[in-house]
Amino acid sequence: MAGSVIDNIAVAEEQLKGAELASKLKSSVVFKGDKSIRDASLKLDPKDMAWWRDAKFGMFIHWGLYAIPARGEWVMNNEKIPSEEYAKLADQFAPKHFDSDRWARITKNAGMKYMVLTARHHDGFALWDSPSSYKEFCSAKTAAKRDFVAEYTAACRKAGLGVGLYYSPMDWRFPGYFQPKELSDNADMMKKQGYGQIEELMSKYGKIDILWYDGGWLAHNGTDADAAWFWEPLMLNKMVRKYQPKAVINPRSGWEGDFQCDEGGHDITGPIINIPWEKCLNLNKSSWGYNKHQNTMSSDEIIRMLINVVGRGGNVLLNVGPDPDGVIPPPHVKILEEVGRWLEENGKGIYGTRPGPFQPVDGKYCSTFKEDKVYIHLLDLAGQKELVLPALGRKIISSSMISGEELSFIQSNSLIRISIPAWNKVKPPAVIELVLDESL
């Protein structure tokens, strides 16, 4: 009997090493800003990043004139709509049901802790009263006659959510964007607009918690770093720090930023990443902006993405595209509410945690920890009644499902075995909580 137990442990250890090795060798994470200019003097101290790393889950909102044709936020460029023709959409943009407080409630009900609004996308239309806007192309000077950024930032603060603003310095209305060297005077006008508008956003709306750049590349070629000669991101972000010294800044301006970004709906695999990073993706896979064509993620897909990202050290920024009247589609709200209900039950294994101490095993489990508790996020055990983990170097006091059901376990110097007798009653993803004798 003793011999068979030893043999089983040896086999389990070998299988474990193989699974972990496979996960480490195939990371799917791609950082868009990994080649950006480095300047540590602009980066936040880790203690100023802690709130963001604790938050884990945020709401991205792409909303603007492109909601009217409802074919995605790139409709102007993709369909080669002349800027004068596209600008006429501003005459129709007078949302009847825009309610930033409702946006905030939906965000909170989904278990999200911060929001990021597209204050201005690549089409050049600003959602605030912007004196720097070329040809006064902004919501306060067109049909809406409203400063949506002011309403949005107030709603975030009222709801206790982190306030994030997205800004794209590129603007399709300027031929100089596509030919920055040949049409340098026109490109310089676009750059001047960008600096002026970022200064407005950073100085007029109180404390901004997140500045999320996009579209730093020129002529739709290369990377943000390739265009740094033009945008001069160190000078730009020194200005930002003057107004918002504690804002968390992403890397898409050509400067490395405070965290890295992985964009898109691809699955996340591989090992823990030991820098702050964020996964941004769409609830409606068709586009970031409102789209008549709906191809939504399920709540289960979102939860699994959240687990896979948080278990590797990242945050998830999940996007919705409100309709022309400012309404987040009800089917999207329903999905978000389902995610929120899961987080109500399992959120202590997500919020305020850090990844580990176990490396993720793709498709099987991830782990997080906080102080003396470790959370094992089960993705799929294929009907197994036992979970085998590497040794921890700490004594386990108790093991249970996060819902409270106690689980028996065996701990040795080489591995941990946790019995899951009621696995057939538990639908993954589910969470095991280990209580240790001392903090990690």
Confidence of residue 25 (pLDDT cuts 50, 70, 90): low
Evaluate whether the domain defined by 9-24+354-436 bears CATH number 1.10.238.10.
no
Q: What is the DSSP letter of 359?
A: P
Q: Is the pLDDT of residue 248 over 50?
A: yes
Residue 281, pLDDT score: 98
Q: Is the pLDDT of residue 24 over 90?
A: no
CB-CB contact of 63 with 166 (8 Å):
no
Mean pLDDT of 10-26: 51
Q: Is the pLDDT of residue 13 over 50?
A: no
Encode pLDDT of 318-344 as tens digits. 999 999 999 999 999 999 999 999 999
Residue 6, pLDDT score: 34
Amino acid at 304: R
Residue 26, pLDDT score: 77
What's the rounded Cα separation, in Å, for the pair 325 and 63?
10
- Which helix H or strand E contains 148, and what residues bound it? helix 148-159
Cis peptide before 429 (omega within 30 of 0): yes
- The stretches of 349-422 forming alpha helices (DSSP H) are none
Residue 34, pLDDT score: 78
CB-CB contact of 312 with 82 (8 Å):
no
Residue 115, pLDDT score: 98
51 by Cβ neighbours in 10 Å (0-12 / 13-18 / 19+) ranks as middle
Three-point CA angle 134, 143, 287, nearest 5°: 75
Rounded percentage of the chain residues whose pLDDT exceeds 90: 87
What's the rounded Cα separation, in Å, for the pair 313 and 376?
14
Q: Is the pLDDT of residue 295 over 50?
A: yes
Mean pLDDT of 212-241: 95
Residue 2, pLDDT score: 30
Encode pLDDT of 32-47 as tens digits. 877 889 999 999 999 9
Confidence of residue 425 (pLDDT cuts 50, 70, 90): low
Domain parsing of the chain, residue ranges: 9-24+354-436, 28-349
Confidence of residue 178 (pLDDT cuts 50, 70, 90): very high
Encode pLDDT of 82-129 as tens digits. 999 999 999 999 999 999 999 999 999 999 999 999 999 999 999 999
Mention every residue, 6+ apart, whose C-beta is less than 8 A from residue 200: 128, 130, 131, 132
What's the rounded Cα separation, in Å, for the pair 300 and 430?
11
Find, among 399, 405, 434, the residue nearest to 422 by Cα.
Answer: 405
What is the Rg, in whole angstroms, of the alpha carbon atoms belonging to the chain? Answer: 24
Cα dist from 420 to 278, 347, 366, 429, whole Å? 32, 21, 17, 14
Mean pLDDT of 267-288: 97
Sole residue written with tokens 């600008």: 87
Q: Is the dihedral of CA 227, 225, 26, 431 positive or negative?
A: negative
Residue 160, pLDDT score: 98
Cα dist from 121 to 106, 297, 374, whole Å? 23, 24, 41
- Strands 314-320 and 57-61: what pairing? parallel
CA atoms within 13 A on the CB side of 51: 13
Confidence of residue 423 (pLDDT cuts 50, 70, 90): low
What's the rounded Cα separation, in Å, for the pair 174 and 166?
20
CB-CB contact of 297 with 285 (8 Å):
yes
Q: Is the pLDDT of residue 57 over 70?
A: yes
Cα dist from 256 to 115, 150, 171, 253, whole Å? 21, 28, 22, 8
Residue 19, pLDDT score: 55
Q: Is the pLDDT of residue 225 over 80?
A: yes
What is the number of helices (H) and of strands (E) in the chain? Answer: 12, 16
Mean pLDDT of 301-320: 98
Q: Is the pLDDT of residue 217 over 50?
A: yes
Confidence of residue 383 (pLDDT cuts 50, 70, 90): confident
- Cβ–Cβ contacts within 10 Å for residue 79, how many? 11
Q: Is the pLDDT of residue 11 over 60?
A: no
CB-CB contact of 316 with 303 (8 Å):
no
Residue 12, pLDDT score: 44
Evaluate whether the domain defined by 28-349 bears CATH number 3.20.20.80.
yes
- Strands 409-411 and 415-419: what pairing? antiparallel
